[in-house]
Amino acid sequence: MHARITLFALGVVSLAVVSLYPTLQFPSSAQVSTFIGPRVWPLTLLIVLFTLGIILLAITWRDRKQALVSEPQTTPDTSAETAPASSRFSLGRTRHWWFIAAAVAYTLLMQSVGFLIASLIFTFIGTLLLGARSWMTIAITLVIAAVLMQGVFVSLLGIPMP
């Protein structure tokens, strides 16, 4: 289990590092007419992504060391192969991959339907993946997300939505 999380954390850190160069190619606020330039938001996300990836990596390594010290080595009889098939492929165990797929779909969908609609669809899917089951909770989340996106980008920052 630690190996999978370590690979995922390394992938997240690698994605942040690889995405840094194209992000720095965006114009800064000094080069555009808006208060905050197009570079600020992706750069902020990359910094957060890199930081959280490093934290996940550190926590995984710490937990692995603690597990090696506190538990004897497992035998092949107690490996993950004996786990029931339903627990190996549950939504909870693959949720992070669904989020990555949703983010890719969000990026592709944004080009065809626009920022606001694609963001609301992504918010809906993200809310479901995080475990919300009440339609009232989902509806409130979507309304708040739409108001925040419209209010922050258009009204507060003066950045028109694509």
* pLDDT recorded at residue 89: 59
* pLDDT recorded at residue 86: 52
Residue 112 three-state SS: helix
- Which sequence spans correspond to the domains of the chain? 1-73, 86-162
Helix 40-70 to helix 2-24 angle (10° resolution) is 160
* pLDDT recorded at residue 10: 92
- Are the C-beta atoms of residues 154 and 109 closer than 8 Å to each other? no
Write out residues in the chain with pLDDT < 70, as ranges. Answer: 33-35, 71-91, 162
* pLDDT recorded at residue 143: 95
* pLDDT recorded at residue 128: 92
* pLDDT recorded at residue 75: 55
* pLDDT recorded at residue 25: 87
Note the pLDDT tens digit of each residue in 44-68: 999 999 999 999 999 999 988 888 8
